[in-house]
A and B are shown apart, each in its own frame.
Chain A
Amino acid sequence: MFKVNKEIKDGTLHLALIGRLDTLSAPQLEDEVNDFLDDADNAVIDFGELEYVSSAGLRVILAIQTEIEDKDGSVVAKNVSDGIMEILEVTGFIDILELEE
């Protein structure tokens, strides 16, 4: 259902979210990303294959963003689809993420 590909390159955490990030899968993302966050100063999140994100999923994204922001880093969102963009806009998350075309 949900999968996340992750790697760290030069202090930047690259995440690719695949599938549905909802109440059921959000804890999985949190678990998988937690260990990596300590070593990351910046993050790039690929939303290209993300079908859906719920508020529980946004909570994890917010947690990532907060942690990165505390290190004066930035979180870049890329390949954001129209559906996901709408959610990001509605929730105001568009303001805390840097959009990359």
Chain B
Amino acid sequence: MKKKKKFKSLKRRVIMWLSVFTVLMMAFISFFSFFWNTGSGISLISFAMMQDAGRAALYIDGDVIEKYEKTGVKDEYYDSVTHYMNMTIEGTVYRYGFPFLNYYIIVPYEDHFVYIWDSERTGTVEPVKNPHPLGERGEYLPAFAPNMKFLSKFNKFYEDFMGYNNSVDQKTFINDVLNGHKENIFHCVKNGRELICSYAPVYNSNNEIVALVGVDYKGSALFATKMLSLVLVIIVFVLLVVMIIFMYRKLSKRITNPLKRLNSTAKDIVKNLETSESIEIGVNSNDEIGELSDSFGAMFLEVRDYIDKLSAATAEKERISAELDVATKIQASMLPCQFPAFPDRSELDIFASMAPAKEVGGDFYDFFLVDDDHLALVIADVSGKGIPAALFMMNSKTLIKSIVQSGLPPKEVFEKVNALLYETNEAKMFVTVWLGILQISTGTLSCANAGHEYPAIKRRDSKFELLKDKHSFVLAGKKKLTAKEYEIQLGEGDKIFVYTDGVAEATNSDNELYGTERMINALNSGEYGCERLLEAVRADVDKFVGDAPQFDDLTMLCLEYRGNTKGEDNV
């Protein structure tokens, strides 16, 4: 049993695969961005912070710091540094997307530190901050408490990537910086905000550390960059979805819809194949689909053209077929088909039949009285089939009958008919003929056989047997023919059966020939009159042939001689 193929939309399948692809892509990106951001994002920002602290440390003149601390007097240089720090804070917004919270320079002491410079905040991005004034004392911050929202996480990553644990108090950390551990980040909580800080030492001209530049950064910013990349991922995702929708529409417009139109047009065409004049598919793209549509249109026109031709040819064939039917009827009507043929001649029982293979054929039989005492029997087979054979057969039949009626014996009839047929035989056809002229009063049958099948004779108390008679060549084959004549003496109750090769050469589906042996057996299968005898042979042939098509005409003629009832035997 054939399973019906389930329809799966091309469009839906493409979209499905694209979706799967997108989800996989997103998973991939998310997975990597998680590590990339927490890892490299943190180290990048840490590095930037240390750079900024370090740059400021190099810029600042270490020799003046002591003066500012001691006198508390600001000068032009002091203001320029303040300006630099404020500008830098604004600049970081553009550089990192997040500003430094604080930018300051302190002088560290054992239990406190002193502010020298501190940055302002204008309030553009972060809230306004009043800077610590020059000389203000600051207290060291303790280590941050565990479980802080950002710092705990940050510290863990920092530890993983950099190998430092930064959960120390500010004093310890600054001591580390003073002792040369420069590349580090300090975590702290200042005024309730989680911060990460970087410190860079400021040297005086004697290469002694006199102060530290500090940079504070919001702890949440680090994770905000992670959030930022999440936003990026979402944007990419949205873009992909938009792309998919775009492709979906494009796909619909360029592929699926044209295909649908093509499909419906095809259905329409099949419905209106004979009526529709032209075809409008309505697909005008310049891609494969467009080409398909064009080919489809061309194919339709060709199919139409072909159908037109086929219709014409079929009509012509029907016409010829009808004419052939008429021809078959005309041909059949030319053969004597009134039985009993001679109701007033009790000496004779005669029966004949012809079953053409298809249309008109080349077989014929004939019987007629030449005069009161002579009956002519003819059975013949023209080579080939169809119209040419039928035309040739008509000619042969007419010639034979007219020449026999002129009273010539069979041998001379054949020679004359042969000469006449040969003259006009352009198609190089020929005809095999068996001719017998029976003298009714005596039962003497004068016969001639021009290439025809052997007749079968049945003597009154005997069985049918083939009579291997003297043959001459077929008629119309050679210009000159020397015919042979022989006589058979028929007694009362004797029968003669003549036939065409359609009987002996009837073929079954295994290409086996019926053969004369089977025919003789059928003839001897019972004591029949002429009509029943022919029916018996016909039935036996049909049984043998089975479903195989009948190739050749099936023509048979049987004569029973009942003796001269007018003669001395008459009761």
Which residues of A are in contact with B by a Cβ distance under 8 Å?
A: 20, 22-24, 26, 51-52, 54-56, 58-59, 62-63, 66, 83, 89-93, 95-96
Contacts and interface: CB of A to CB of B under 8 A. Distances in A.
A91 B551 contact: no
B429 A59 contact: yes
Contacts of A22: 551
Given A26-B384, A56-B384, A59-B384, A92 B450 contact: yes
Contacts of B129: none
B513 interface: yes
A51 B510 CA distance: 12
Contacts of A59: 383-384, 428-430
B506 to A, nearest CB: 12
Most buried by B among A55, A56, A59, A96: A55
B429 A96 contact: no
A92 B451 contact: yes
B513 A52 contact: yes
Interface string B373-388: 0000000011111000
Nearest to B427: A59
Contact of B552 (A23, A26, A62): A23
Contact of A91 (B432, B478, B505, B552): B432
A92 B474 contact: yes
Contacts of A58: 383, 430, 474
B473 interface: yes
B453 A90 contact: yes
Contact of A89 (B471, B478, B551): B471
30 contacts: A22-B551, A23-B384, A23-B385, A52-B505, A52-B507, A52-B513, A54-B501, A54-B551, A54-B552, A55-B383, A55-B384, A55-B432, A55-B501, A56-B383, A59-B384, A59-B429, A59-B430, A62-B474, A66-B477, A83-B513, A89-B471, A90-B452, A91-B432, A91-B451, A92-B471, A93-B473, A95-B473, A96-B473, A96-B477, A96-B478
B454 interface: yes
Contacts of B552: 23, 54
A26 to B, nearest CB: 7
B536 to A, nearest CB: 23
Nearest to A24: B551
A62 B452 contact: no
B401 to A, nearest CB: 21
B167 interface: no
Contacts of B505: 52, 54
- Would you call the interface of chain B mostly helix, strand, loop, or mixed? loop
Given A26-B384, A93-B451, A20 B511 contact: yes
Interface string B359-380: 0001000000000000000000
Interface in B473-506: 473-474, 477-478, 501, 505
A55 B551 contact: no
A91 B380 CA distance: 12
A75 to B, nearest CB: 13
How big is the B interface, by class?
20 to 34
Given A59-B429, A62-B383, A91-B452, 6 more contacts: A23-B551, A54-B552, A55-B432, A56-B383, A56-B385, A92-B450
Contacts of B513: 52, 83
B365 to A, nearest CB: 16
A20 B548 CA distance: 15
A90 B452 CA distance: 6
Nearest to A26: B384
B46 interface: no
Contacts of B451: 90-93
B328 interface: no
A91 B428 CA distance: 16
A58 B382 CA distance: 11
Nearest to A1: B511
Nearest to B513: A52
Contacts of A91: 432, 451-452, 471, 473-474
Contacts of B478: 96
Nearest to B473: A92
Contacts of B471: 89-92
B166 interface: no
B381 to A, nearest CB: 6
A92 B472 contact: yes
Interface in B370-426: 381-385
B473 to A, nearest CB: 4
Most buried by A among B451, B453, B507: B451
A66 to B, nearest CB: 7
Contacts of A20: 511
B553 to A, nearest CB: 10
Counting from the closest, the 7 A-B pairs by CB-CB distance are A92-B473, A91-B451, A59-B383, A55-B383, A56-B384, A92-B451, A63-B428
B324 to A, nearest CB: 16
A80 B206 CA distance: 133
Nearest to A56: B384
Contacts of A63: 428
Contacts of A95: 473
Contacts of B501: 54-55
Nearest to A20: B511
Contacts of A92: 450-451, 471-474
A52 B515 CA distance: 12
Contacts of B453: 90
Contacts of A96: 473, 477-478
Most buried by B among A54, A93, A95, A96: A54
A47 to B, nearest CB: 16
Interface string B505-526: 1010001010000000000000
Contacts of B450: 92
B108 to A, nearest CB: 115
A66 B428 contact: yes
Interface string B245-273: 00000000000000000000000000000
